[in-house]
Every structure is written in C-alpha cells, then in structure tokens.
Chains A and B, each alone.
Chain A
Amino acid sequence: MFNRRDIIYLYDGSFEGLLTAVFESFSFHEIPMNILVNSNVQETLDMNYYYVNTDTEKAYRVQKSITQKISRYTMHNIFFTYLSVCSDKEMKILAYIHRCFKYGKSVNSRINDKYVGAVCDAALSVGNEAHKLKGFIRFLELSNGVYYGKISPKARILPALILHFKERFNSMPFIIHDLTHEECLVYNGKSAEIYKTDTIPKLDISDNEEHYKALWREFYNTVAIKERHNPKCQMNNMPKRYWQHLTEMELAN
C-alpha cells in the first residue's frame, strides 16, 4: 500500500459512498491523505482531489467480504462508527478495515491497537446513545393515530432505532424526527424509511394527549422519594441534553 500524502478522496456522505471509497483505495493500492464528504470541503491548489462515484456494487463487495471473512459484528462496528460524530471517522474506518484483513477474525480482541480501539469506542458510544434514546423518546399521539416523537441526538442514530420500535409497536404507525441531522424515520405500520427533512411540521395533536401528559407528570413527580433527593445522580444517568424533549421535564426547563 502506498501512503499518498497528496490526495484526498471525496464521497457523497452515504454509507455506500464510504464503502466505495474504501474499495477504490484498495484497488489503487494507495492510502489517501484523507476521506471527506464533498459538500463541506473547500478545495486548495496544493492538493489532488478524487471524486468517488458511489457504486452500490462495489460497496456491496466490501460489505460481503468483511461479513464473510471477518464477522457481521465487525460490519456493525463499521456502520456504527460511520453514524458517529467522531473526528476523522472515515480514516479510522479505513485503518480498521486494513487491520481486519491483517488480523482476521481476532481483530476485535486486539483492543490495544489504536485504530481497533478507536472504532470500537466510537461504535460503543453510538450504541449507548441509541440505547438511551430507546428510553428517552416521548411520542405524542396525533389526531390521525400516528405517534410522533422528536429527538436531538449527537450521532445519526435513527437506523439503530428502527428494529426496536418496529417490533414493539407492530402495526402502530410512528415518526421519529431527528432535529440535529434533519432526518425523519417514518414507519407506516409495515415498513420503515428514513427521509431528509428541514421543516418542522405543524402537528395536529389528539385530544387525549394533555390528559396523558398530566398523568405522566403526576406519576413522575410522585414516584421520587423526597428524603433521597439527589439531582447529581439524576443528571449522571440522564444528562441535561436529553431533557428538552422529555414530557416530564418540560416544566423544569
């Protein structure tokens, strides 16, 4: 592999795009200086830029080779790192994939390796945030029977939530709106899809909603034991950044 310090790969920001970039890097036998999303790059004269054309066929080949030769868990790690907000995630993923093929199935045990550790950590933090939000999302019932919930996560965790809520709500349609990344997870009772959206819709909230909100707040405030008041422990477990969309915390803010 040739370490190229003079070329930067640009991809379209999609997961397929990133895997295509990985594919190209392997087929050119070179490691680029960086891999970046093309929309937020200002080109400079002293650098060469290579535009990666997203190719699902190539992306699929990378994915297949990793799942078959290493493990599905490794692919999961790569996908979650891609969803994360950690800096330089593309290069970390590329380095991690190099180690996957060097070490084989034992790669995820070698956590003392810098890049394996970095990818495992990033994937873990995305997984943790997704797990927290599985509990902290609050749905509103709209008058057409759809349930709508808003979140502001750090990472793009919507794909990690699909299966959980789908299994849970079965035929009940719901929408999860990610305000940070302006994305919407829409489930119509059969299949789920993620859409880009930059508007906050006007919601037609059902009449039941205030009743249940009041009941929930009553429950939340009553179930705390006054003699054991411990706000620091509360904030450790439920950091304040989650509070803005919590029904029971609306009045506290």
Chain B
Amino acid sequence: MDIKEKLRILTDAAKYDASCVSSNSTRKNTAGGIGNAAECGICHTFTSDGRCVSLLKILFTNYCIYDCKYCINRCSNDIERTAFTAREIADLTIGFYKRNYIEGLFLSSAVIKSPDYTMEQIISAISILRHEYHFNGYIHAKTIPGASQELVTRLGLLVDRMSVNIELPSEKSLSQLAPQKTKKNIISPMRQIKGSIIQSKQEMVVYKHAPSFAPAGQSTQMIIGATPETDKSIITLTQSLYKSFDLKRVFYSSYIPVGDNKNLPTTAPPLLREHRLYQADWLLRFYGFDSSELLDDKTPNFSNEIDPKCQWALKNLHLFPVEINKAPYEVILRIPGIGVRSAKKIIRARRYSKLSFSDLKRMRISMKRARYFITCNGHTFENMWLRQELITPLMLSDAGASGYGQMSLFDEPTKGDTIKCLTGEI
C-alpha cells in the first residue's frame, strides 16, 4: 500500500479526535535542529468543517483489539486496516513541517496486539523525530490506557503534550459502551502524568538542564450526546478533572453516529450543545465561575437561545447593573459580553480617567450584550430600564437574523441564535 493510501486511511480514523492545539509549549530550537514551538499556538489551515489544523493528526495504526461501541476503529467494524512504520511518520512530519503545512505531530493509535506494544511503536516514531532529525516542534501523543508506567514516563520525556481520553462522562456509560476499558486504566496514567509534570517542574528550578516532562501539560476528551448525561453532570465532571489533574484542556466531541449498537443514539446530537459546553468550560477556567453556579437541578441543561454567561446573569439579576468605574475585576469579568481582554482594558484605563459609554466604544468593547448589565458613572445605556422580563426578549431579538429592525418586546424568539452559534468557532 502506498503512503498516500495509508495517510488517507489513518487520517480518516484519527479525525474524530477534537484536540488540535499547539499552544503552551516553549520548546526552543537546538543548534543544528529544526523547529521550535510557538507558545501561543499557530493554526495552519481550517478544514471545511471550520476546525483548525495545526498538527498532523494521524493514527499509528487502526488495527484494534478493542471493541468500543462508539468508535469507528472497533474490531467488529469492517473497514480497511493499515499501519505506518515509524520512519514513514517521521519523514512525513519533517516534509510537512519544512513546507510550513503543520506545527507538529499529533500521534495517536488504535491498540494493536497490546497496550505496551502500541506504546512502544509510538515511542519509536517520536524518538526518530526527536533524536535523529533533531525535531523541536510540537508533538502531542496519546497515552494508551493500560500501558506500563515506565513507557508513559519515556513518552512524556519526548513529547510536549500528553493526553488520555476519558471517553465518556460516567463510569456506567463506559462499562456499557467500552467494556474493555476501565475507569482505573484511564485515571491511573492521568495521575502519573500529573505527578511527573510537577516533579519535572521542581527539578527544573534546581537544575537548569533537567529533562522536561510534557511541558505543555495534559488534556483529555469525552464524547457527548452518546449517553444520557446532563450538561450539569458533564460540567461538574470537567471541573473536578481540572482541579484534580491540572489538565490544560478538556475537549468535548459531539457524537457522530458510527456504531450500530442498540445503546447508541441513531441521530447526532446538535453541535450547539458542544458549543455551549465549550462556553461553560471557558467560564470555569478563565472567568472564576463554579460549575454549581452555572447549572442546578432545576435547570440541568444549557439554554439553546442564550449563552451560559447570559443565562447565569439573568438568573442573578440582583447583582446587576454593575458600575464600570468602581466594580472589581472579578465582577467586571462576570458581565455578559465582556471577556478577559476587555475587562483588563477597563481596569487599566479607569485608573486615569472616568469611563463613559463613548470611551468604552472607543476602546472597542462590545456593547451588544453588556449594555443591559452595566452603568457608567451611574447612567444606564441610553437610560434603558433594566428588568429581566424586558432583557430576555431584547437579547433574543438581537441574536436573531433580524439585524437592526424595530425591536419588539413580545415576539417569540423564532430564529434564536442557533444559527449564529453553529457558525462560531468550535
């Protein structure tokens, strides 16, 4: 089989992995080497589904001994199977990297023969890149659940980011759909990686040239919509993952029907759900929200019409309006429509002069949502009257495709921002 055919099969098998980020690593080029990591991450192209391509995302092989019901590579599925050699992966990566097609390599694999054997194959390909070609670009590798600790350590010393997929949001779903994987097998490498990263950081404080272990941290991924968990349980799980394993990212992958198991839904869940989860994920990591604030037992799922931050703000309207010139940073960050960058701008600028609405406009701070929730020097935006029953339909009509037409207070949210959200970055 020629390399092009192999690339097609093994890319096709890898494409459902959501992660394709190349950020957080500060690996520098060495004398005589090629490549360095850009800390902010760089997107090299965007595919027709709107997702960024920054890494060469391939599987080592799609021969698999496991039979996970939701996975396209399960052994009971009748598809073409093949495997790369370590040399082919290394050559492909270097060839693409020199042409500036990619930022690095994302190597994952189905489980061939045994977890340990698969890990050894992955390590051999990455060793060629790092030691023979002196490649210092970004490498993200998947850890195979059930592989020995020693192999996880060897891999961690070669790559920038490691990840173990948690696959499904609860243990019950996991035992139903991926009977050969256990929670213990997934959690124990995550714990090991966390420990090694902390240890390596401490060593680097003492010894300048101490080997760095996965400098860009670890991440994980779960499939949503294949099992009946609510948004609330997913977000609570996410928060505990961030807290207990110091994860850099949790990725959500909306289930796409590839299996024929009776336990699986036959239709794909809406992509909007995935989008809402990512929005909430950001609120947890950068905005100081707690998962219990976002959703409770009365409303266990996010709204289709408005984003999680607005949903929270409308539930807590007694905290608003917020005075832009006085409120502390943490409070400004919680205003819908104001992000980390805008909040920082406000904090910096108001040290030198009182800010008015026209100042905010000049600072390019979006007023689309924020205007319902703020005051400047005691004034509301165009002296608007802030009440929940007024704000909700106003915001919905803003989000619709109606543009700048007359805003009606009593219209049903016909189009909602469904379309808008679908076109956003995933």
A contacts, CB < 8 Å to B = 103, 106, 109-112, 114, 117, 121, 131, 134-141, 147, 149, 164, 167-172, 208, 212, 214-216, 218-220, 222-234, 236-238, 246-248
| A224 near B425: Cβ-Cβ < 8 Å | no
B257's nearest neighbour on chain A, judged by CB, is A227
Q: Is B38 engaged at the interface, CB distance under 8 Å to the other chain?
A: yes
How many A-B contacts are there with CB distance less than 8 Å?
167
Contacts of B32 in A (CB 8 A): 170-171
Rounded to whole angstroms, the CA-CA distance of A238 and B51 in the bound complex is 10
B137's nearest neighbour on chain A, judged by CB, is A168
B48's nearest neighbour on chain A, judged by CB, is A224
| B36 near A167: Cβ-Cβ < 8 Å | yes
Contacts of A111 in B (CB 8 A): 345, 348-349, 362-363
Q: Which one of A147, A216, A231 has the highest number of Cβ atoms from chain B below 10 Å of its Cβ?
A: A216
| B34 near A172: Cβ-Cβ < 8 Å | yes
Smallest Cβ distance from B287 to chain A, in angstroms?
21
| A220 near B53: Cβ-Cβ < 8 Å | yes
Rounded to whole angstroms, the CA-CA distance of A216 and B7 in the bound complex is 9
| A168 near B29: Cβ-Cβ < 8 Å | yes
| B49 near A228: Cβ-Cβ < 8 Å | yes
Q: Is B16 engaged at the interface, CB distance under 8 Å to the other chain?
A: yes
Q: Is B96 engaged at the interface, CB distance under 8 Å to the other chain?
A: yes
Contacts of A168 in B (CB 8 A): 29, 34-36, 137
| A131 near B49: Cβ-Cβ < 8 Å | no
| A218 near B43: Cβ-Cβ < 8 Å | no
Contacts of A224 in B (CB 8 A): 15, 47-49, 51
| B99 near A234: Cβ-Cβ < 8 Å | no
Smallest Cβ distance from A173 to chain B, in angstroms?
11
B interface SS class: loop
1/0 per residue, CB under 8 A from A, across B1-39: the answer is 001100110011011100000000000110111111010
| B426 near A136: Cβ-Cβ < 8 Å | no
Q: Is B424 engaged at the interface, CB distance under 8 Å to the other chain?
A: yes
| B43 near A230: Cβ-Cβ < 8 Å | no
Stretch at the interface among B110-118, B196-204, B350-358: B350-358
Q: Would you list the 8 A-B pairs with minimal beta carbon distance, nearest first?
A: A233-B50, A224-B47, A112-B359, A109-B348, A228-B49, A230-B50, A222-B11, A238-B46
Rounded to whole angstroms, the CA-CA distance of A237 and B45 in the bound complex is 9
Name the one of B46, B98, B353 contacting A234, with C-beta atoms under 8 angstroms. B46
| A233 near B424: Cβ-Cβ < 8 Å | yes
Q: List 18 A-B contacts (CB under 8 A).
A: A109-B352, A111-B345, A111-B349, A111-B363, A135-B44, A135-B45, A135-B54, A167-B28, A171-B32, A172-B98, A215-B3, A215-B96, A220-B53, A224-B49, A224-B51, A230-B422, A233-B423, A236-B425
Contacts of B363 in A (CB 8 A): 111-112, 117
Smallest Cβ distance from A7 to chain B, in angstroms?
29
Contacts of B195 in A (CB 8 A): none
Rounded to whole angstroms, the CA-CA distance of A232 and B14 in the bound complex is 24
Smallest Cβ distance from A99 to chain B, in angstroms?
12
A137's nearest neighbour on chain B, judged by CB, is B100
| B99 near A216: Cβ-Cβ < 8 Å | yes
A231's nearest neighbour on chain B, judged by CB, is B48
Q: Is B92 engaged at the interface, CB distance under 8 Å to the other chain?
A: yes
Q: Which one of B38, B48, B57 has the highest number of Cβ atoms from chain A below 10 Å of its Cβ?
A: B48
| B15 near A225: Cβ-Cβ < 8 Å | yes
Q: Is B190 engaged at the interface, CB distance under 8 Å to the other chain?
A: no
| B100 near A149: Cβ-Cβ < 8 Å | yes
Smallest Cβ distance from A149 to chain B, in angstroms?
7
Name the one of A121, A164, A171 contacting B38, with C-beta atoms under 8 angstroms. A164
Name the one of A172, A214, A237 contacting B50, with C-beta atoms under 8 angstroms. A237
Rounded to whole angstroms, the CA-CA distance of A138 and B364 in the bound complex is 33
Known: A138-B99, A236-B425. A227 touches B256 (CB 8 A): yes
